[in-house]
Amino acid sequence: MKKVDSETKVTRLCGYALKYGSDKCPQIKHYYTPYYFELFESRRETVKKVVEIGVGEGASLRMWRDFFPNAMIYGAEIEDKRIFEDEQIKVFKCDQSKIEDLQQLLKNTGTDIDLFVDDGSHKSEDQLFTAVNVVPMLKKGVTYIIEDVADDTL
């Protein structure tokens, strides 16, 4: 993968992140969108289902919706005030540290997910718990991404 620096070109995905205020783009905070663009540009039309844990105000869900025009975008959020539905977007209540919530999330979305993004609690124990419990239930070929990985024991 190409090195990303402060001179990174604003891709279509970066543009959507900027439009909605998602911190996934380098112009706001993180350097995720240039990598995601490279990874998914050729699959934009074929991705049908995206799930993201941790939706905040919904900026990244709207970014994904615009980037993947044929996909249903699902969110998982622990805070009630952030549960919403919009065109091609549906957010479910989910605590990623609870197996029953993760199982219910996958029951609601189905397991035929193309892209699964963990941008939830950012706690390593929750990230590991989610991955260990969710990945075995997903279809072969899913792209599973954990954002904001850090050693939070320091």
User: Which candidate in 122, 133, 143, 144 is catalytic?
Assistant: 122
32 and 51 Cβ atoms separated by less than 8 Å: no
What is the 8-class DSSP label of residue 44?
T
Does the annotation mark 122 as catalytic? yes
Catalytic (active-site) positions = 122
